[in-house]
């Protein structure tokens, strides 16, 4: 049995907080903090470093609590948060490395992009077909919110992050369909991606 608790990069926590405070309001952020389970509020009140690693359970609790307060229980509320994080992280990279602004580079970078945010699990590129403007990505990770990224991350955050990245790279409309989910009995999460 795997006892290791996965960790998430501090930048996710900081960018999530910034999105909530700047887009919805400080009062909502305070409400989220007040409703976090366990030592969640204490965790977020300390100095979180952008480049340090922290237990992923804090991220899952943040996402779940945020959705309870501003969403309606389906986790769609985190879609704009994931878009915000993608723009914050990819914007400066694209400004410096213009050559990276193409869909094939974004998709082929999926494994390293995942490991930039999470230290457990992995994303594999099953296929990238530039001519057909399609790709398949697979996320291998535990289905345990106490040890790994939660269902909201694989169902909404991952697709939205890649959709935003592809749009920023210059594609037209992007469709990402999750065709399998580790939280629904599959061994992995699978994403079919198409763009114009």
pLDDT band at 100 (very low <50, low <70, confident <90, very high): low
- 128 and 171 in a single domain? The answer is yes
Give the per-residue pLDDT at 170: 86
Tell me how far apart the alpha carbons of residues 166 and 121 are, in angstroms, rounded to a whole number: 22
- The 10 Å Cβ neighbour count of residue 52 is 12
Which of 18, 44, 77 is at the close of a domain? 77
How much of the chain exceeds pLDDT 90, in percent? 78
| Overall average pLDDT of the 112-124 stretch | 94
**Given pLDDT bands bounded at 50, 70 and 90, which one contains residue 96?**
low
- The parent domain of residue 173 ranges over 99-195
82 in a structural domain: no
Query: What is the model's pLDDT at position 187?
Result: 96
- What average pLDDT does range 142-162 have in this prediction? 95
Q: Classify residue 24: in a domain, yes or no.
A: yes
Is 154 a domain residue?
A: yes
User: What CATH number is given to the structural domain containing 116?
Assistant: 3.90.1520.10
105 in any annotated domain: yes
Number of domains in the chain: 2
The answer to whether 75 and 60 have CB atoms below 8 angstroms apart is no
- Residue 83, in any domain of the structure: no
- Asked if residue 27 and residue 73 are part of one domain, the reply reads yes
Task: Specify the pLDDT at position 3.
Answer: 65
- Whether the pLDDT of residue 1 is over 50: the answer is no
């Amino acid at each position: 049995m795997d006892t290791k608790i996965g960790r998430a990069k501090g930048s996710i926590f900081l960018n999530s907080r910034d999105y909530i405070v700047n887009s919805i309001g400080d009062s909502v952020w305070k409400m989220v903090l007040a409703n976090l389970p366990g030592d969640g509020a204490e965790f977020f009140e300390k100095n979180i470093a952008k480049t340090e690693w922290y237990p992923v359970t804090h991220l899952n609790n943040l996402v779940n609590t945020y959705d309870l307060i501003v969403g309606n229980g389906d986790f769609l509320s985190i879609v704009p948060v994931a878009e915000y994080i993608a723009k914050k992280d990819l914007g400066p990279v694209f400004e410096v490395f213009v050559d990276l602004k193409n869909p094939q580079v974004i998709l082929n970078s999926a494994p390293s992009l995942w490991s930039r945010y999470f230290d457990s699990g992995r994303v594999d590129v099953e296929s990238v077909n530039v001519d057909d403007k399609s790709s398949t990505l697979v996320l291998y990770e535990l289905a345990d919110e106490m040890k790994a990224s939660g269902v909201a991350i694989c169902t909404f955050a991952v697709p939205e992050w890649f959709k935003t990245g592809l749009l920023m790279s210059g594609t037209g409309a992007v469709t990402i369909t999750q065709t399998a989910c580790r939280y629904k009995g599959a061994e992995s999460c699978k994403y079919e991606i198409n763009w114009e």
